[in-house]
Amino acid sequence: MNSLTRFWTDQEVYIMKVFLPIIIGFLVLFMGLLVIFALSIWWRHYRLWHLGKEENRSDQGATRLKTLLAVTFGHIRFWKELYPGTMHFLIFWGAILIFLGKIVRLFSYPVGLTNPPQDIFKYASFVSEVGGLLVIIGGCMAIYRRYIVRPSRLETKPTNTLIYSWGAVLLMTGYFVKGYRIAIIGSGVVPDWLSWAPVSYFISRFFLILPTEPLNELLVWHRVLIHALPAFLFFAYVFITRTPLQHFFLSPINVYFHNLKSKGVLLPIPNFEEAETFGVKEISELTWKQLLDLEACTNCGRCQDVCPAHLSQKPLSPRRMTQNLKDHLRREGPKLLATPQDQRQPEAIMEKTVNEDELWACTACMACEEACPVYVEQIIRNIDLRRYLVLVETKYSSEVRLTLKNLEKNNNPWGASRGTRAEWAKDLGVKSFAEVENPEFLFWVGCCGSFDARNQKVATSMVKILQASGIRFGILGNEEGCCGDPARRIGNEYLFQTTAEANIGIMKGYGVKKILTLCPHCFHILKNEYPQLGGDFQVFHHTQFLMELIASGRLKLTKPINKVITYHDSCYLGRANQIFEAPRKILNSIPGLKLVEMERHRQRSFCCGAGGGRMWMEEHIGTRINQMRTDQAIATEAELIGTACPYCLTMLFDGIKEKGKAETMAAYDLSELVDQSM
Amino acid sequence: MKIAVCIKQVPDTEAEIKWDTPKGTLKRDGMNPVINAFDEFALEEALLTREKCDGDIVAITMGSEKANDVLRSALALTVNEVHRCTDDAFAGSDTYATASVLAAALKKIGNVDVVFCGKQSTDGNTGVVGAEVAAILGWSPLTYVSKVRQIDAANKKIVVERAIEGGIEVTEAKLPAVVSVIKGINEPRLPNLMGIKKAAKVQIPQWNADDLGVDKGKVGAAGSSTRVVEIAVAPPRGAGEILKGELEDVANIVTDRLIDMKVIK
């Protein structure tokens, strides 16, 4: 028998005589572990989630599956950050390869693929070894990042350190075992070692210095104590405790059930008439999906790193709020499950788990949802918590109280007399919608365009453009009411509903079909949320409209504006409705204008700070968000900031003044620039 | 403890004001009716008092059917009982006539310990009804109240702070009292949604002149002892004149002008 055949025969003898019982024992116990795991999913997770309310997320299975596969295997979204993305990709795929290889080799013994070794056996072995290397590289990247770089968003608990240490031990001992097995044969250099054991062969050479008998013993004991047992215990740890590694099954489930609708779309309260309570007070009033979100969060902190409230030192961290709610669920959930429904006395979320400053700091900018690799949803949950405070406890600041009162009395958050809503247009020859023959659009001006001095100029520019292009349009004038965005985002769903239903009634009464909006908040709500109340209209934002006008040649831009401009992507135009190109095309059509981008642009744009009803609240804590964004614009050295939203315009206009740059910088709405150029 | 609140529905001051000059009254239709802003402070004070001392709150108003809205707002804030005083005979009442109707209502409610009302209404702005109600009933009149320090129904005592020119006056008085409150005494809460929904379903009870035992001859436009004879919109103020120069000279010019205008002698 040549040395190669002897090598494989001897390997097989050792496997069969020495290790088979251990392997069988491991497998049997592992099956038991899997059963316990399955039960624990039901007992510890499924039951908790179903404390929550119903929600249908089972539609469009094919789309959901595609996203799940893309996220799990392609790691989409992880790659938004190169280092962590690569690191996780290596660890994940390395682990998959290790297991694939192991399973193939395990089942090749009984079917005689091992002696002489079939190609599949060798490939499997090679794949495992490469997998192990990938995990080591990824793991080292992770350890370096977590323990040496220490980014602020990463919370390191003992369980993290335990997992890294344990993983390192398992990887090392895995290679060592193979090394011993190869060494013990003592048959010299196996010619094709590179094709199936690149790493362990290398290691085996070091063990050759030990004499045969001790090496034998080492092999036996090592296999049992130092590799098989720790491996088994590691699986037990992952399946039975609440280690963050449990994200391996919790996060994919969450990805499957993710939100297929546009971001930032809030949901109505289903039944105002019969409802006994509104919003969310305690944990079981969230939906099962919102509870799943809490458990799927991997504590990675990407949301925290993009949250404008957090970055401006407000007490809000989306990561921490989610983790605190998760702890609350795990604490209160079992208590609730153990009590009959009519005797339950759940702890209110706002009592200890979330505080009011955190909750009101949110600008509903959706950056957290955009950044999350496992699709955790936060906006709807935050507004649900606000709804309880506003509708049931009437607990909010005096600024919010004033805004809600203004909206109720005067149908605009400014508190200006509703009779003066159309004053801005009185000398512009603008007709009311009813008077226009065969109108193409209703021009929905919005509360800012109607009442705010700076934004009235934008509305005026828009009117000039519409008139110059011969568009037949009208406005609702004093019959236009607030679109309802401030009310809805503050959490007063009742006020939103009554306002919106009134608006819908008026528009339907006039036979409105197409609406042109000035403001992305009006745009978002009229387009995506009014249908919930029966208002189905075709809604356009003025940037889409202007782009069409320019592209079709109906509007010619001839006067140059020789300046450098940076464009600020509004949250409700960009992240919520994916409108990124239209404004840029408009800017590129203006002769002389040079566009530079801020670092955080398009999907990663940084909120101006006015969303979530915060336009109507002062910032009392930390840095001002609008000043942070203005700083980002100043960093581009642009002379102009282009905006497409009245809130953003106000915030950046103020920011420029507050930063003392009013001499060298100016903020304009895109329609004003088009007006100047035509 | 029984707490009463008098509230009035008035046109929204933000709305455009239209006068019926010959009649000397406001053209009220088409004007957004709201609860008198000062009465919101009164309502809130009543709610705060009830939280401290336990008891019931009764809100009353004198007004037409639309005035039911202000009573509903009060119910939405968890006021216990409401009544609307209404009768054709009441139309056009002056302040004293109104006060006599409200006083009759308060007598009918009975056992009232304290009445809260706003210091004035934003339409008439006369600011006397509260004091008149107290005078008619012989109860302690406490006006311009900026804070209620203490209220003791058992010992029939109330201590308040009144905002007077140049300072604060602390007054102790016997209950029952009519307390008219100023802006800023508290921060009026907004009703919660459950409150609004429940209030929407309530049937608001009415009292007419007979129910109240009010002499129809002494109320209404005919029965009022005062009458608006003329209303006029103030002419727009002309531009002022700016005097420049040395302080002595300017002072002399100013005093000369004031003497010419017969403002000083």
DSSP string, A250-284: HHHHHHHT---SPTT-----S-TTT-S--S-SBGG
Domain A283-392 has CATH 3.40.50.300: no
Record the tokens describing residue A280, joined without a space.
Answer: 């969310």
Name the residue with higher pLDDT: B22 or A352.
A352
Around B13, how many Cα atoms within 13 Å sit in the side-chain half-sphere? 9
**Phi-psi region at B64: left, alpha or beta (left = phi > 0; alpha = psi -120 to 50):** beta
- Neighboring chain A residues of B47 at a CB cutoff of 8 Å: none
Q: State pLDDT tens for residues A309-349.
A: 999 999 999 999 999 999 999 999 999 999 998 888 899 99
| CB atoms A276 and B192 under 8 Å | no
Instruction: Please give, rounded to a whole number of angstroms, the shortest distance from the CA of B157 to a CA of chain A.
Output: 32
**Phi-psi region at A429: left, alpha or beta (left = phi > 0; alpha = psi -120 to 50):** left
Instruction: Say how far apart CA A496 and CA A493 lie, in whole Å.
Output: 5
- Neighboring chain A residues of B12 at a CB cutoff of 8 Å: 409-410
Name the residue with higher pLDDT: A610 or B25.
A610
Average pLDDT over residues A493-514: 95
Residue written as token pair 């009101």: A360
Least confident of A168-182, A281-295, A611-625: A168-182
Instruction: Say how far apart CA A410 and CA A482 lie, in whole Å.
Output: 9
- Is it the case that residue A43 has pLDDT exceeding 80? yes
Chain A interface, Cβ < 8 Å to B? 272-273, 276-278, 391-394, 398, 401, 404-405, 409-410, 415-419, 494
Mind giving me the DSSP string for A483-531? -SHHHHHHT-HHHHHHHHHHHHHHHHHTT--EEEESSHHHHHIIIIIGG
- Is it the case that residue B246 has pLDDT exceeding 80? yes
Strand partners, B84: B61, B206
Average pLDDT over residues B94-105: 94
CB A205 within 8 A of CB A126: no
**Class at the top of the CATH hierarchy for domain B2-223:** alpha beta
Average pLDDT over residues A581-587: 96
Q: State pLDDT tens for residues A437-473.
A: 999 999 999 999 999 999 999 999 999 999 999 999 9
Q: What is the pLDDT at residue A215?
A: 66
- Which residue from A233, A252, A99 is spatially nearest to A162, judged by alpha carbons? A233
> Which residue of B12, B34, B194 is in closest CB contact with A392?
B194
Q: What is the pLDDT at residue B92?
A: 86
Torsion sign (Cα): B42, B43, B45, B49: positive
Average pLDDT over residues B121-128: 89
Q: Are strands B157-164 and B140-152 parallel, antiparallel or unpaired?
A: antiparallel
Instruction: Say how far apart CA A228 and CA A102 lie, in whole Å.
Output: 13
| CB atoms A416 and B14 under 8 Å | yes
> Which residue of A278, A405, A416 is in closest CB contact with B193?
A278
0.85 surpassed by complex ipTM: no
Average pLDDT over residues B160-184: 94
Average pLDDT over residues A270-296: 92
Q: What is the pLDDT at residue A116?
A: 64
B33 interface with A at CB cutoff 8 Å? no
Dihedral of the alpha carbons of A9, A12, A18, A23, in degrees to the nearest 10:
170
Average pLDDT over residues A565-593: 95
Mind giving me the DSSP string for B214-238? --GGGSHHHH-S-------PPPPPP
Res. B30 pLDDT band, cuts 50 70 90: low
Tell me the backbone φ, ψ of residue B131, rounded to 5 degrees.
Answer: -65, -35
B66 interface with A at CB cutoff 8 Å? no
What is the SS3 assignment for B118? Answer: strand
Instruction: Please give, rounded to a whole number of angstroms, the shortest distance from the CA of A621 to a CA of chain B.
Output: 23
Average pLDDT over residues A379-407: 93
Res. B191 pLDDT band, cuts 50 70 90: confident
- Is it the case that residue A18 has pLDDT exceeding 80? no
Residue written as token pair 């009703």: B191
Q: What is the pLDDT at residue A3?
A: 64
Q: What is the pLDDT at residue B123?
A: 85
> Which residue of B12, B187, B197 is in closest CB contact with A409?
B12
Cβ burial of B198 (10 Å; 0-12, 13-18, 19+) is: middle
What is the SS3 assignment for A612? Answer: coil
Q: State pLDDT tens for residues A97-131.
A: 999 988 887 777 677 666 666 777 778 888 888 99
Instruction: Say how far apart CA A450 and CA A465 lie, in whole Å.
Output: 17
Q: Is the peptide bond before A308 cis (omega within 30 degrees of 0)?
A: no
Average pLDDT over residues A230-238: 92
How many C-beta neighbours within 10 Å does residue A196 have? 23
Instruction: Please give, rounded to a whole number of angstroms, the shortest distance from the CA of B117 to a CA of chain A.
Output: 21
Instruction: Say how far apart CA A101 and CA A128 lie, in whole Å.
Output: 5
How many C-beta neighbours within 10 Å does residue B130 have? 29
Q: What is the pLDDT at residue A200?
A: 78
What is the SS3 assignment for A85? Answer: helix
What is the SS3 assignment for A484? Answer: coil
CB A675 within 8 A of CB A461: yes
Q: Which residue of B has its CA nearest to A405?
A: B190
- Neighboring chain B residues of A409 at a CB cutoff of 8 Å: 12, 14, 32, 34
Instruction: Please give, rounded to a whole number of angstroms, the shortest distance from the CA of A649 to a CA of chain B.
Output: 27
Record the tokens describing residue A175, joined without a space.
Answer: 């290679």
Please tell me the total number of residues recorded for chain A in this structure.
678
- Is it the case that residue A501 has pLDDT exceeding 90? yes
CB A557 within 8 A of CB A609: no
Q: Which helix (H) or strand (E) holds A443?
A: strand A441-444
| CB atoms B194 and A417 under 8 Å | no
Which B residues 157-216 touch A at CB under 8 Å? 187, 189-194, 196-197
- Neighboring chain A residues of B15 at a CB cutoff of 8 Å: 417-419
What is the SS3 assignment for A429? Answer: coil
Domain ranges of chain B: 2-223
What is the SS3 assignment for B140? Answer: strand
Least confident of A162-171, A206-215, A501-510: A206-215
| CB atoms B190 and A409 under 8 Å | no
- Is it the case that residue B23 has pLDDT exceeding 90? no
Record the tokens describing residue B85, joined without a space.
Answer: 């005083």
Instruction: Say how far apart CA A107 and CA A492 lie, in whole Å.
Output: 62
What is the SS3 assignment for A117? Answer: strand
CB A126 within 8 A of CB A196: yes
Instruction: Say how far apart CA A86 and CA A138 lie, in whole Å.
Output: 8
Q: Which residue of B has its CA nearest to A279?
A: B193
- Which residue from B86, B93, B22 is spatially nearest to B60, judged by alpha carbons? B86
- Is it the case that residue A640 has pLDDT exceeding 90? yes
- Is it the case that residue B192 has pLDDT exceeding 90? no
What is the SS3 assignment for A456? Answer: helix
| CB atoms B193 and A494 under 8 Å | yes
Instruction: Please give, rounded to a whole number of angstroms, the shortest distance from the CA of B83 to a CA of chain A.
Output: 24
| CB atoms A392 and B197 under 8 Å | no
Q: What number of C-beta contacts closer than 8 Å exist between A and B? A: 39
- DSSP state letter for A227: I
How many C-beta neighbours within 10 Å does residue A338 have? 8
- Neighboring chain B residues of A392 at a CB cutoff of 8 Å: 192-194
Strand partners, B57: B3
Res. A187 pLDDT band, cuts 50 70 90: low
Q: What is the pLDDT at residue B28?
A: 66
- Please list the residue range(s) of chain A that carry CATH number 1.10.1060.10: 283-392
* Angle, helices A119-143/A158-185, rounded to nearest 10 degrees: 140
| CB atoms B15 and A419 under 8 Å | yes
Average pLDDT over residues B232-261: 85
Q: Which residue of B has its CA nearest to A398?
A: B187
Q: Which helix (H) or strand (E) holds A517?
A: strand A514-517
| CB atoms A401 and B190 under 8 Å | yes
Q: State pLDDT tens for residues A158-179.
A: 999 999 999 999 998 888 877 7
Q: What is the pLDDT at residue A319?
A: 96
Q: Are strands A594-596 and A564-567 parallel, antiparallel or unpaired?
A: parallel
Q: Are strands A564-567 and A514-517 parallel, antiparallel or unpaired?
A: unpaired
> Which residue of B15, B32, B192 is in closest CB contact with A393?
B192
Tell me the backbone φ, ψ of residue B146, rounded to 5 degrees.
Answer: -105, -10
Q: State pLDDT tens for residues A122-156.
A: 788 888 889 999 999 999 999 999 999 999 899 89
Q: Which helix (H) or strand (E) holds A71?
A: helix A61-74
Least confident of A61-70, A396-405, B26-35: B26-35
